[in-house]
Amino acid sequence: MNYPIKIDPPDIERYRRGNSGVDFVHVLDSGKPGPSVMIQALTHGNEFCGAIALDVLFKQNIFPSKGKLTLAFANVAAFARFDRDDPDRARYIDEDYNRVWGDDVLLGTRDSAELRRARELRPFVDAADLLLDLHSMHEPCRPIMVCARSEKSVALARRMGAPADLLLDTGHPAGLRMMERGAFADPASPRAAVLIECGQHWAKSSVDVAIDTCNRFLNTVGVLDRPSQQFPKIEQRVIRVTEPVVAKTPGFRFASPWKGLEVVKEAGSLVATDDGKEWRTPYDHCIMVMPSMRHLKPGTTMVRLGRYD
């Protein structure tokens, strides 16, 4: 299913020359002690609601009154080839930028467009105490705050007060995400990362969610010299992913056109078929987490199964 593109890719060329020595990375330094905070957009080049949100922050001339604030556009090369007639082509050039963050890959000898960019960004990521990574989804689905396997990310998301659905997952077999890198995944470290899935890639509501999430994040981490804003808190629930559904063959098909966050009442309900194999819900009230047929190939996670805490 193709969804309409209701938002325009922002002109980010004006942000190419930052002050950090790396293109499209801006480090706003108060010169005073405080946390090092980072917001990243365009981890996936086809997910530009977050880039629009950063554009808004730049235009507001925000500046930290303590600590440092790093604003980064990540996979700009992939974003640059965005084409309304083939929008998914802008997702990445060679490989998924958000699967290369393990030291074995990042510090290894393998080369790709995404690895080169990740190696440029690594010093900023490794210096960040608190990280917000802005994403969107192929299917129209309520926003989800991805917290990896980290309870401290859940705690950060609760301080932000939105969105309603917080996700503890099991990672991706294909590789480590930025938010799982190093101390972000160490329960003993205070460093924490969250990843927001704002909604459908090109829905206007996803831009609103991205902007709201940035504001809530900045409010929570407290680096800006502006009156602390009051954001309405909504009831938040944690979804624990118990297992991924990974395609084994190109014949993988969902049993229903899942969009995400559906709750399947009964255990044993058919989720998908895959060349004769059946996937069924392992328990009652099973939640479909971020289903997508978009990137079907053997070894790809097609949907994750979870339940509310």
What is the DSSP code string of 251-287? TEEESS---S--EE-STT-EEEEETTEEEE-SSSSEE
- Long-range contact set of residues 255-259: C-beta below 8 Å, sequence gap at least 24: 257/1, 258/139, 258/288, 258/291, 258/303, 259/139, 259/140, 259/141, 259/291
Tell me the window of 52-60, 130-138, 224-232, 297-305 that interacts with Zn ion (CB under 5 A): 130-138
CB of 92 to Zn ion, least distance (A): 10
Rank residues 81 and 226 by Cβ distance to Zn ion and give the closer one.
81
Collapse the DSSP code of 126 into the 3-class scheme (helix H, G, I; strand E, B; otherwise coil) and give the result: helix
Q: Are 172 and 99 spatial neighbours (Cβ–Cβ below 8 Å)?
A: yes
CB of 51 to Zn ion, least distance (A): 12
Rank residues 44 and 191 by Cβ distance to Zn ion and give the closer one.
44
Q: Does 135 bind Zn ion (CB under 5 A)?
A: yes
Place of tokens 């946390």: 35
Place of tokens 């309304």: 84
Tell me the window of 110-118, 129-137, 245-253, 294-302 that interacts with Zn ion (CB under 5 A): 129-137
Rank residues 47 and 129 by Cβ distance to Zn ion and give the closer one.
47
Q: Does 216 bind Zn ion (CB under 5 A)?
A: no
CB of 252 to Zn ion, least distance (A): 21
Please name which of 110, 128, 258 lies closest in space to residue 191, comparing C-alpha atoms: 128
Q: Mask 6-45, x = binds Zn ion (CB under 5 A)?
A: --------------------------------------x-
- Rounded distance, CA 120 to CA 116, Å? 6
Rank residues 150 and 219 by Cβ distance to Zn ion and give the closer one.
150
CB of 57 to Zn ion, least distance (A): 19
83-115 exposure pattern, b = at least 16 Cβ within 10 A, e = fewer: eeeebbebbbbebbbbbbbeeebbeeeeebebb
Tell me the window of 131-139, 202-210, 261-269, 297-305 that interacts with Zn ion (CB under 5 A): 131-139
Q: What tokens were used for 255?
A: 């049993």
| Contacts to Zn ion from residues 43-82, by CB under 5 A | 44, 47
C-alpha 129, offset from chain centre: 17
CB of 206 to Zn ion, least distance (A): 11
Number of residues that bind Zn ion (CB under 5 A): 3
Q: Does 99 bind Zn ion (CB under 5 A)?
A: no
Name the residues that contact Zn ion, by CB under 5 A. Answer: 44, 47, 135
